[in-house]
Structure 1
Amino acid sequence: MGADWVRRFHPSPRPIARLVCFPHAGGSASFFFPVSEAMSSSIEVLALQYPGRQDRRAEEPLTSVQDFARNAFDALQPWADVPLVFFGHSMGAVIAYEVARLFDDADTVLLGLFVSGRRGPATYRDERVHLMPDEGVVSEIVNLNGTDSGLLADKEILSMILPAIRSDYRAIETYRYNASRKLRCPITAMVGDNDPKATLDEVRTWQEHTSGDFELQVFGGGHFYLTGHQAAIINAISDHVLMACGDSARPAVRER
């Protein structure tokens, strides 16, 4: 089970912490390969591979955030022998938050939760992309610039990836926040200043979901701003982990 969900592109023999990356709707673990390649070797990067895509294409996609969270929580148990920090983008931010709640309930407090390109979980928008015809779903993806338009123009490839994309949109668009106690770990929210899916005021509401520190970081760009700011994001996460672990002498970026 865990082996199906977790991808480790660059194993580290003695990590001081592990960064767990949660992909966006329609995304896959390979989206975070460059992060794993560039991150300090002292921080091992794990990326989640959701069912219904790439090497898990034959599996039935999940349709609820709660199902994503429960499965991810179970899959990550063997990796919690060192401190964990989560990074989730868009839909992945909400899944990461729900998994963080499960860890918190199990008395395993994360080093931090980094949420990207997503409004706070209690902030609702009436979005119905998952109910649109195929053309509408494709148009939404193209407008967000998150997927190579050449892939979307290939009908054979589109027929393979569209079911998972639609299921992901169904999961995030039908998600409803269930109030509970605040997380104990700090939350850092990151967003592009021109993101149509999350305004700055909506992103600031993440502060309501932690009893720890909160920081908002704004970057230039739209919903997928992170592809143009990889170094800054990696350094922000590295600095946070190294400070939390009391090991600021280690390098922030993996040597090549």
Structure 2
Amino acid sequence: MTGVRLIFFPDAGGSPSRLHPLPYSPDVEVLAVQYRGDRLPDRIAREVLSLGERPTVFFGHARGAPLAFETVRLLETTTPGPYSLVLLTNYQCPPSGPLRSPISVVTGSPKSAMDETWRAGTLGAFRLKVFADAEFSVNDYVAVVNHEIDRMARWVSTSRRYLTMF
């Protein structure tokens, strides 16, 4: 997984420090979005582009998931990626059109309408893990979230095209 970047989008009002229980490989560059009054995906996409091209996994927690999705949507219009998303959320996918990047959703909401919005949010591979909890945190699902991030990091580190991975 050498050269992979992992970018965290915490929940609205949350801070990147809430994500500390997730272990990371030393080969992965780990970054987190620190919200400063606005959470505009175009501003975040410009910051990501300024870091240079690198295979990137975007991890969105709760209300950070739609923001991660929108950021990747903007990035896909300017750079080929590869990108992938791991989302821990009970929120629906934004209706802005599908990505080419694969999406893995971990949710505590068994609502089929929510699931379908994320499934329709990608032309790439889609993976869904549903748990019985209505509300949950990263701390509750460290092993599951870390497994999904690891899967996506391995995919982006070896992929140069948007291939089916599941």
Q: Under a length normalisation based on structure 1, what TM-score does the superposition of the two structures give?
A: 0.56
Q: Does 1:108 align with 2:93?
A: no
Q: Distance between the aligned counterparts of 1:49 and 1:29, measured in 2?
A: 7
Identify, as 1 or 2, the structure richer in strand. Answer: 2
How far the C-alpha of 1:201 sits from its partner, in A, is 3.4
Structure 2: state its 5+ residue gaps. Answer: 160-166
Structural mapping, 1:78-227, within 5 Å: 78-122=50-94, 177=95, 179-180=96-97, 182-192=98-108, 195=109, 199-227=111-139
How many pairs were matched up?
A: 159
- Over the residues paired in the alignment, what is the CA RMSD in angstroms? 2.3
Q: Under a length normalisation based on structure 2, what TM-score does the superposition of the two structures give?
A: 0.83
How far the C-alpha of 1:30 sits from its partner, in A, is 1.2
Q: Distance between the aligned counterparts of 1:74 and 1:223, measured in 2?
A: 32
Identify, as 1 or 2, the structure richer in helix. Answer: 1
The secondary structure found in structure 2 opposite 1:202 is helix
- Counterpart amino acid of 1:50? Y
Structure 1: state its 5+ residue gaps. Answer: 1-13, 52-60, 123-176, 248-256
How far the C-alpha of 1:32 sits from its partner, in A, is 1.9
Q: Distance between the aligned counterparts of 2:45 and 2:158, measured in 1?
A: 27
* Structure whose alpha-carbon radius of gyration is higher: 1
Match 1:74 to one of 41, 46, 66: 46
How far the C-alpha of 1:91 sits from its partner, in A, is 1.3
Instruction: Kindly report structure 1 stretches of 4+ aligned residues shifted beyond 6 Å.
Output: none
Q: Distance between the aligned counterparts of 2:49 and 2:64, measured in 1?
A: 18
Q: Distance between the aligned counterparts of 1:85 and 1:183, measured in 2?
A: 14
How far the C-alpha of 1:84 sits from its partner, in A, is 0.8
Cross-structure match for 1:18? 5
